[in-house]
Structure 1
Amino acid sequence: MEQNWFFPPHDGIRLGDLADRIGAELVDVAVADRAVRSVAPVYRAKPGDVCYMLSRKSRAELETCEASAIICDKTISSLVPAHIPVLLTARPHTAFALAGTLLHEIAMRPARNTSLRGIAPGAFVDPTARLEDDVEVEPTAVVGAGAEIGRGTRIAAGAVIGPGVRIGRECTIAAGASVLCALVGNSVIIHPGARIGQDGFGYAPGPKGGMIKIVQVGRVIIQDHVEIGANTTIDRGTMDDTVIGEGTKIDNLVQIGHNVRIGRYCGIVSGVGIAGSTKIGDGVMIGGGSGVNGHITVGDGVQIAAMSGVAADVPAGERYGGIPARPMRDFLRDVAEMAMRAEERQKKKKGGANE
């Protein structure tokens, strides 16, 4: 890949220092002063790059690897050529993520769109809004009446912060996002085009057909260290609040309905839809393209496979998949039975054609 000026290399971190900071053991301490500046995949890593391996499947890629270090665990460290230093750890994926954070800090949240700092010309900040020191508001962004924004937060170009919204410190509200009727914690990242706090989908049957809109007067509560992907929508509550728990990460193009309560440290992948008033526990992982019914409870630690349809409560700690979602062992058994029946039908068709 040609030089990537969007994310330039680091000035350099000693390999020994990098090992300490990511919790890895540098096997050959003689190279501790070697500098690393960037991350790269194994097959095209060059001097100055650090990469990682999770399995033997990457073995062939080592033939073209010239990395300054490879992060891996003991089970595959013997595969690494002798000329490439090894950073040994039981959690190579986590260690590599930490290395990337150190070497490419600029990539960890949406970057500035201009070189301007502070309140840029062309931004509109209502006179009644309260901004702490070191807040940035880029051109064409709007901060509404009575809004409060904490120190170190950046409001990017074209973003709209509604009246009375409160945003904590060290947050990034990226270009074109809108945040309405919401209380946002510290160190929250909201990616471009996300829509937070608009009214939810609620209607009652009209007296002469059609539908009458149900008023939505709740809020959205986003706790600390949450990340919300591009073009994701989170509706405000009808009368209670929609809540996103601390440390939860939400991918692009996710729809979260009104009054949904999501616990701490959940992961929700692209294309998921969660209907209103559902309760999601702590540490829940929901695979891409899944749909979750309204007014149900998904317990702590649950894992939902991609493209599943969750229609009823899921007990804590379970792994579910399929449509309707059911325990993974049942889902896999059903899939195997359907495959076997399909194979039998094909055999019968072939047998009939040969008669």
Structure 2
Amino acid sequence: MEQNWFFPPHGGIRLSDLADAIGATLENVDAEDRLVRSVSPVYRAQEGDVCYMLSRRNRDEFESCKATAVICDKSIAPLVPPGIPILLTEAPHAAFALAGGLLHPIALRPPPLLSKSTISDKAAIDPTARLEEGVEVEPFAVIGAGAEIGQGTRIGSGAIVGPDVRIGRDCTISAGASVLYSLIGNNVIIHPGARIGQDGFGFAPGRRGMIKIVQIGRVIIQDNVEVGAGTTIDRGAMDDTVIGEGTKLDNQIQIAHNVRIGRHCGIASQVGIAGSTKIGDGVLIGGASAINGHITIGSGVQIAAMSGVAADVPAGERYGGIPARPMRDFLRDIGEMAARHKKHRNAGGKDE
């Protein structure tokens, strides 16, 4: 790949320093002074790059690898070509993530659009809004009456911060995002076009048609949460919609009113979570899954992609399928279905 000027290489980190920073052991102590400048996939890694490998199935990629170092665990280490230093760790994926953040810190959150950090005179800021020292506001952002924004936070171009919203310190509210009726913690990243705090979908059928139910709750987003581009989080109807500390939301997710998501969850793109669902800590939900309303998903649960979760899921379970069921049952059902199909075809039957 040609030189990427959007994310230029780092000035250089010594391998021994990188090993300490990511919690790895440098197996080749004579290479401690070699410099790492960037991250790369294994197959095209060059001098100055660090890469990682998780599976022996990809061992062929080492044939073209010329990396300065490879991050891996003990099962992969014997496959690394001689002469390439090894950064040994039990958690290579997490270690590589840490390395990437050290080498390319500007890629960790949406960057400022302008070279000068300031409060633009082209932004509309209500005189009653309170901004701590060091807040940046880009052109055409709007900050409503009584809003409070903490030190080190950047409000992107065209973003909207509604009246009385509270945003903590060191946050990034990206271009075109809107934050209404919300309390936002510290170090929160909201990507472009996200919609936070609009009213939830609530209507009561009546003789005159659908009667709108008022939504008078809030959205509470705790510290270190990341909200992907185009994701929508509705405010509560009468209670609050809550996103727990450290949770990461992918692009284009819909979170309905009164949903409560625990700490350190990971939710992939196109998931829809209906109203008043409670999700525990450390839950992982695969892309395009649909989560029914008024159910509870326990802590530590894993939901496979494209699942339909209709009822409560006990803590620690792995579920998949439509309707979602324990993974062992889902895989058994898939196997039986495949066997029936094969038998049908072998008997000369035709698909309808």
TM range (shorter): over 0.9
User: The residue matched to 1:243 in structure 2 has which SS?
Assistant: strand
Which residue of structure 2 aligns with residue 123 of structure 1?
A: 123
Which residue of structure 2 aligns with residue 184 of structure 1?
A: 184
Which residue of structure 1 aligns with residue 143 of structure 2?
A: 143
Which deviations, in whole Å up to 9, do the C-alpha atoms of 1:250-292 show, x marking residues without a partner?
0000000000000111111001000000101111111100000
Which deviations, in whole Å up to 9, do the C-alpha atoms of 1:192-237 show, x marking residues without a partner?
00000000000011223x2010000100000000000000000000
How far 1:109 moved relative to its partner?
0.3
* Residues 152 and 171 in structure 1, CA contact (< 8 A), matched pair in contact too: yes
How far 1:79 moved relative to its partner?
1.1
State the TM-score, normalizing by the size of structure 1. Answer: 0.97
* Residues 116 and 138 in structure 1, CA contact (< 8 A), matched pair in contact too: no
- Give the Cα–Cα distance (whole angstroms) in 1 for the partners of residues 242 and 70 of structure 2: 40
- Give the Cα–Cα distance (whole angstroms) in 2 for the partners of residues 138 and 335 of structure 1: 52
* Residues 228 and 252 in structure 1, CA contact (< 8 A), matched pair in contact too: yes
1:175-214 to 2 correspondences below 5 Å: 175-208=175-208, 210-214=209-213
Which deviations, in whole Å up to 9, do the C-alpha atoms of 1:166-186 show, x marking residues without a partner?
000010011100000000000
Which residue of structure 1 aligns with residue 283 of structure 2?
A: 284
Which residue of structure 2 aligns with residue 218 of structure 1?
A: 217
The ranges of structure 1 where at least 4 consecutive aligned residues each deviate by more than 6 angstroms after the TM superposition are none
Which residue of structure 2 aligns with residue 301 of structure 1?
A: 300
1:260 aligned partner, one-letter code:
V
How far 1:121 moved relative to its partner?
2.5
| Structure 1: gaps spanning 5 or more residues | none
* Residues 270 and 288 in structure 1, CA contact (< 8 A), matched pair in contact too: yes
User: The residue matched to 1:211 in structure 2 has which SS?
Assistant: strand
1:1-355 to 2 correspondences below 5 Å: 1-208=1-208, 210-349=209-348
1:150 aligned partner, one-letter code:
G
Which deviations, in whole Å up to 9, do the C-alpha atoms of 1:313-346 show, x marking residues without a partner?
1111111111111111111111111111111111
* Residues 25 and 88 in structure 1, CA contact (< 8 A), matched pair in contact too: yes
User: The residue matched to 1:20 in structure 2 has which SS?
Assistant: helix
How far 1:116 moved relative to its partner?
2.4
- Give the Cα–Cα distance (whole angstroms) in 2 for the partners of residues 238 and 217 of structure 1: 5
Shifted more, 336-345 versus 94-103: the winner is 336-345
- Give the Cα–Cα distance (whole angstroms) in 1 for the partners of residues 329 and 60 of structure 2: 37
User: The residue matched to 1:259 in structure 2 has which SS?
Assistant: coil
* Residues 142 and 160 in structure 1, CA contact (< 8 A), matched pair in contact too: yes
Equivalent pairs counted in the alignment come to 350
- Give the Cα–Cα distance (whole angstroms) in 2 for the partners of residues 317 and 54 of structure 1: 24
- Give the Cα–Cα distance (whole angstroms) in 2 for the partners of residues 61 and 328 of structure 1: 32
How far 1:58 moved relative to its partner?
2.2
